[in-house]
Structure 1
Amino acid sequence: MSSESRQIFPLFLFPPLSYIKALCAATDPLIDTGEYFVKQSFRNRYEICGPNGREVLIVPLSKGKNEKMPLQQVQVSYAEKWVQQHTGALKTAYANTPFYAYYGPEINAMLQAEPASLCDLSREALAWCLEELGFSDKCTHFTEVYTEAGPADTDHRKAFSPKAERISGIGPYPQLFSARHGFTGDLSILDLLFHEGRAARLRFL
């Protein structure tokens, strides 16, 4: 990895397409797991499209000042039945897509394993997504401590905000509820995988 110019990414859970596109375009990207947790970000949420349109699925965290903790120390809370909610929402949204029968059980098993650490859950989720896309090489370099961005670096850690308008550069592609809602852009990579399977890789080349 070059020390002169790096592309530094946050670690997201089932990231939006704009993140995946930027990550796949990067040469030897660095994923920072040592940064402080950022509230209301894709670090513990992802977006899908169901019968009622865009839907946000949030992983609740254990009580505490999570925004003042390194991501590696942030713990997932299972006091709420969020795993059941997420798997149910994914089934409602994607059961009739071409690849739900293939991917659904794997995603359900990942969530039902109930890893204690948000970092562990997100690393597994990101690695799985990239493996299905054929880009496993983009998920090999992680930093365990916060990495300062140098003047030549591209720092993506403040990009891809759920609150900001985002353009993924992916799509439009056929979506199950497009007749009702039109094309819904920059959803979680799960949306594209459920609709196109491994052929989704071609959209990132």
Structure 2
Amino acid sequence: MKNVLLPAFYLPPISWFSIFLDSENEILFEQFESFPKQTYRNRTNIYGANGKLSLIIPIIHNGNREFKSTEISYREDWMDIHWKSIKNMYQSSPYFEYYEDKLKGLYDTKEKYLLDFNLKSIDIVQKILKTEKAYSLNDEYIKFPKEINYRENFSPKKPSEFEMEQYYQIFEDKFGFLKDLSILDLICNKGPESTTYIKNIK
């Protein structure tokens, strides 16, 4: 087994799940890092009618920088906006209707902390994928951890380095295949085949 330190993301990209679900990896989530801006910790990318669309969770800027204590802002109804965006973009996909109720559950209750919301999103995806991957949370921030460190490996600002096969996407006739979007894109378009697809990512 390999010990792996992963950041906890909001409906993570497909490549993240290839690391998370790898049977060789024992997963530890980072909760004590200083909250980094413009990462998948508070955003997810879906395929919109105009190309890639980022859904961003607003956070409260109260001086605290620790990820586990980062609070979500509800001054605007972003949950409703995110859900309507997801539904509008994926309701014509092959499998959305099968997972709609589970996905909607993510936006039914307000979590105070971003970490809790992200873990909830990961747990919901696991139910859809019918996986039961165990994970734990770290006890302290270590700059140079002994685990394989993936804290900086996934960036919405850089092209994904992971290799993955093309699959059907609703708007691909307009913008082509968009690689490594949110896991949402994969499960809505490939359904039960998603887990096999994830295992073949390199």
TM over 0.5: yes
In 2, are the aligned partners of 1:13 and 1:44 still within 8 Å (CA)? yes
Indicate yes or no: 2:58 matched with 1:64: no
Distance 1:181 1:24 in 2: 29
| Residues 144/134 of structure 1: CA separation in 2 closer, same or farther (3 Å cut) | farther
Distance 1:133 1:23 in 2: 13
Distance 1:102 1:132 in 2: 9
**1:99 alignment partner in structure 2:** 95
In 1, are the aligned partners of 2:90 and 2:96 still within 8 Å (CA)? yes
Distance 2:102 2:130 in 1: 17
Q: 1:36 aligns to what SS in structure 2? A: coil
Distance 1:23 1:105 in 2: 24
Indicate yes or no: 2:119 matched with 1:123: yes
- 1:1-205 superposed matches below 5 A: 6-25=3-22, 26-66=24-64, 69-137=65-133, 139-150=134-145, 153-205=147-199
In 1, are the aligned partners of 2:103 and 2:124 still within 8 Å (CA)? no
Q: What residue identity is the alignment partner of 1:59?
A: I
Displacement over 3 Å in runs of 4+ = 147-150
User: How far does residue 148 in structure 1 lie from its aligned partner after superposition?
Assistant: 4.4
Q: What residue identity is the alignment partner of 1:18?
A: S
In 2, are the aligned partners of 1:94 and 1:100 still within 8 Å (CA)? yes
Which ranges in structure 1 are unaligned for 5 or more consecutive residues? none
User: How far does residue 40 in structure 1 lie from its aligned partner after superposition?
Assistant: 0.6
User: How far does residue 154 in structure 1 lie from its aligned partner after superposition?
Assistant: 1.6
User: How far does residue 59 in structure 1 lie from its aligned partner after superposition?
Assistant: 0.4
Q: 1:6 aligns to what SS in structure 2? A: strand
Q: What residue identity is the alignment partner of 1:21?
A: S
Q: What residue identity is the alignment partner of 1:92?
A: N
Which ranges in structure 2 are unaligned for 5 or more consecutive residues? none
Among the aligned pairs, what percent are the same residue? 27
Q: What residue identity is the alignment partner of 2:85?
A: A
